[in-house]
Amino acid sequence: MRTRVLLLRHAESADPTVFHGAESDVGLSERGRRQAEAIAPLLAAEAPHVVISSSMRRAVETATPIATACKLHLMQEAGLHERRVGLLTGQPTDDREGVWPETLGRWMAGETSYAPAGAESYDDIRNRVLPIWQRLTQRYTGHSMVVVAHGVVCKLLLLTLLDGFGPGDWKKLGSIRNVAVSELVNNLGRWRAVRLNDLPDGVPAS
């Protein structure tokens, strides 16, 4: 049996216009709750063996309807939390010349150890998240998993696990949409994407 992971970002947060990061444990918006309810039966039809989420409220509120639809207990992994963003907390996400564009530009240029004060670097996130991924996928080898995490966490996992990708391909993958599914399959120790950032029909878009 193949090991399969359905990886997705949480549904829309209560205020998607600002950076929340790990410092802001907000819940879902009304549209976010509709997204979670809509995606739940679609993922249940995939018959996963386990549903796992970060412990942040927006991820748990997304994953709970999924676990319920799957008739599974929701497992939480605190280490899958969103990136710590430091001074960006509460700042508008549409700032084109501020801290985040500079950070991303330096990461894409290969300076993955860079981080503003109080924030996590690309390397920090990878070193936090990758051991959790490896532990979970080894524990559930041969099974299907749903993993609900956060945009930056999902993006970094995809850039790290898939052949031919790296930090410089950040924009190539596009924005990780709320509850869009990336289906990853492990074959002989290598991860392959069956679908990337796919928002199923009938699920409200953010």
Rounded to whole angstroms, how far apart are CA atoms 162 and 114?
23
Chosen CATH of 4-197 out of 2.70.98.10, 3.40.1360.10, 3.40.50.1240, 3.60.20.10:
3.40.50.1240
Pure H helices in the chain = 30-44, 57-70, 99-108, 122-139, 151-161
pLDDT in tens, 137-147: 999 999 999 99
User: Is the predicted pLDDT of residue 52 greater than 80, yes or no?
Assistant: yes
For residue 100, pLDDT beyond 80: yes
What is the pLDDT at residue 105?
96
Please tell me the predicted confidence (pLDDT) of residue 103: 95
Measured CA to CA, the distance from residue 107 to residue 85 in angstroms comes to: 15
pLDDT at 108 over 90: yes
- Per-residue pLDDT band for 93 (boundaries 50, 70, 90) equals confident
Would you call 86 helix, strand, or coil by DSSP? helix
**How many whole angstroms separate alpha carbon 68 and alpha carbon 35?**
15
Task: Give me the chain's average pLDDT, please.
Answer: 95
pLDDT over 90, % of the chain: 89
Domain locations in the chain? 4-197
